[in-house]
């Protein structure tokens, strides 16, 4: 199963959602592909998103904004 969190900048909420999903579904990780992406990704994850997730014991500091195009293929 693929689980995608899509937004515009992929720098805050979608990154947090990806982090929570990976955390809560970690025992089923082999059965799920969890990712986030954005239509116009920013240069980095918002520092407050990293800080808030850290408060919940989830480290998203190694995640980075990704383009939606990375996960889609263009068909003619």
The total of structural domains in the chain comes to 1
| pLDDT tens digit sequence for 1-40 | 889 999 999 999 999 999 999 999 888 756 888 999 999 9
Residue 47 sits in which domain range? 2-68
Q: What is the mean pLDDT of residues 45-54?
A: 98
Would the CA dihedral through 52, 30, 27, 4 be positive or negative? Answer: positive
Task: Tell which residue, 71, 62, 17, 16, has the closest CA to residue 39.
Answer: 71
Is 73 a member of any domain? no
The CATH number linked to 7 is: 3.40.50.2300
Is 74 a member of any domain? no
Is 51 a member of any domain? yes
């Amino acid at each position: 199963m693929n689980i995608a969190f899509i937004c515009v900048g992929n720098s805050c909420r979608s990154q947090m959602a990806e982090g929570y999903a990976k955390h809560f579904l970690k025992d089923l990780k082999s059965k799920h592909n969890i990712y986030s992406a954005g239509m116009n990704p920013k240069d980095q994850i918002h520092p407050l998103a990293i800080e808030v997730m850290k408060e919940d014991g989830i480290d998203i500091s190694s995640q980075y904004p990704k383009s939606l195009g990375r996960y889609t293929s263009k068909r003619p």
